[in-house]
């Protein structure tokens, strides 16, 4: 039986998050410079987005550029930003044709102005699309996000808008950049690294983690299917015992 047919569509993760890793190593394996790996990573982005939407996944979040990535050589950062602008522009029609809404999390105001503008335009144009939401994490880090939420709530408490005693999980989540999305149930990381790297630390409290040695540019639809099948074979207990679930 083919992999797609093995997926139980009734038990799909609503939200999948992906740490796209291994572009640099993929380029090295092919004897090319790092940006060649990023360029080939775009194909994997397209395949993953298409496969997720076709299945009926509602949210897909991709870690495209972390706060820490600014520390890379300027030539790589510039090339990545150019690639982002170009990809958003090129894929806008596909997003519209497939009824996919584009969103972003992270401090996007610090992106180069061309990138910020292109991204905001695509977000505006796709805002009414309903089949799936594609969230790009750009200039994002979870610690930054949690600190921002803490600052927002502290300011509100100072102004008397929030009672500090009443800050619970729901109130805290309402200050996160992901407030409009459910928590990811499945987190995929490629390239064999088994780290979270400052990604959605709050939101993945109960996510199933899936690590694959594949390098991101090699990631295709069938690899997403495999990850979902693996997810569907796990017992998610949320702190309860196995017996309590049955
Ligand atoms: C990690 O590989 C990848 C990135 C930091 C960037 C991801 C960007 C893309 C796939 C391109 C465009 C994306 C979108 C959403 C349009 P790495 O460079 O850390 O690889 P390495 O660990 O092998 O060096």
| 32-72 pLDDT, tens digit each | 999 999 999 999 999 999 999 999 999 999 999 999 999 99
Q: Which residues contact 245 (CB under 8 A, 6 or more apart)?
A: 235, 237
User: What residue owns the CA closest to ligand 1's atom 8?
Assistant: 64
Q: Are 188 and 212 in contact (CB under 8 A)?
A: yes
Rg of the chain taking only CA atoms, in angstroms: 19
Question: Which CATH number does the domain housing residue 56 bear?
Answer: 3.40.1180.10
Q: Is residue 68 part of a domain?
A: yes
Q: Total domain count for the chain?
A: 1
Q: Which residues contact 105 (CB under 8 A, 6 or more apart)?
A: 61, 135, 136, 137, 138, 140, 145, 177, 178
* pLDDT number for residue 1: 67
| CB of residue 20 inside a 6 A radius of ligand 1 | yes
Q: Is residue 1 part of a domain?
A: no
What CA–CA distance (Å, rounded) separates 158 from 204? 30
Tokens of 229: 């099948």
Q: Is residue 129 part of a domain?
A: yes
Q: Is residue 246 part of a domain?
A: no
What CA–CA distance (Å, rounded) separates 214 from 235? 25
Q: Is residue 172 part of a domain?
A: no
Q: Is residue 72 part of a domain?
A: yes
| CB of residue 83 inside a 6 A radius of ligand 1 | yes
Of ligand 1's listed atoms, the one at least distance from the Cα of 63 is 7
Q: Is residue 244 part of a domain?
A: no
Which sign, positive or negative, has the C-alpha torsion 171, 178, 52, 205? Answer: negative
Mean pLDDT of 4-23: 98
Residues 21, 23, 40, 218: which is the catalytic one? 21
Q: Which residues of 158-191 are buried (b: 16+ CB within 10 A; e: fewer)?
A: eeeebeeeebeeeebeebbbbeebebbbbbbbbb
Residue 70 belongs to what domain range? 13-141+184-231
Of ligand 1's listed atoms, the one at least distance from the Cα of 91 is 16
Among this protein's residues, is 21 annotated catalytic?
A: yes
Q: Which residues contact 155 (CB under 8 A, 6 or more apart)?
A: none
CA of 138 to the centre of ligand 1 (A): 11
Residue with tokens 């503008």: 117
Pairing between β-strand 100-105 and β-strand 132-140 as defined by DSSP bridges:
parallel
Tokens of 237: 């207990």
Mean pLDDT of 115-143: 97
- Assign 246 a pLDDT band (cuts: 50, 70, 90): confident
Among this protein's residues, is 98 annotated catalytic?
A: no
- Chain segment 188-205, per-residue pLDDT in tens: 999 999 999 999 999 999
CA 83 to chain centre: 17
**pTM, whole model, 2 decimals?**
0.95
Q: Is residue 190 part of a domain?
A: yes
User: What residue owns the CA closest to ligand 1's atom 16?
Assistant: 84
Nearest to 196 by CA among 218, 71, 73, 207: 207
| CB of residue 49 inside a 6 A radius of ligand 1 | no
* pLDDT number for residue 10: 97
């Amino acid at each position: 039986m083919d992999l797609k047919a093995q997926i139980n569509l009734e038990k799909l993760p609503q939200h999948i998050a992906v740490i796209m890793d291994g572009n640099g190593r993929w380029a090295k394996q092919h004897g090319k410079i790092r940006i060649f790996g990023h360029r080939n990573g775009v194909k994997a982005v397209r395949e993953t987005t298409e496969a997720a939407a076709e299945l009926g996944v509602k949210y897909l979040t991709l870690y495209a550029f972390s706060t820490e990535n600014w520390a890379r050589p300027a030539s790589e950062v510039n090339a990545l930003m150019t690639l982002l602008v170009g990809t958003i522009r090129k894929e806008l029609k596909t997003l519209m044709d497939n009824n996919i809404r584009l969103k972003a999390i992270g401090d996007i105001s610090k992106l180069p102005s061309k990138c910020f503008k292109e991204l905001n335009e695509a977000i505006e144009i796709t805002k009414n699309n309903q089949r799936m939401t594609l969230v790009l994490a750009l200039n994002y880090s979870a610690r930054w996000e949690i600190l921002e939420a803490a600052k927002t709530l502290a300011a509100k408490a100072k102004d008397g808008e929030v009672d500090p005693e009443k800050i619970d999980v729901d109130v805290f989540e309402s200050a996160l950049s992901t407030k409009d999305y459910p928590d990811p149930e499945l987190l995929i990381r490629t390239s064999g690294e088994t780290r979270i790297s400052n990604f959605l630390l709050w939101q993945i409290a109960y996510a199933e983690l899936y690590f694959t040695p594949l390098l991101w540019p090699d990631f295709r639809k069938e690899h997403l299917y495999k990850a979902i099948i693996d997810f569907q074979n796990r017992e998610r207990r949320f702190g309860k015992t196995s017996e309590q679930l049955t």
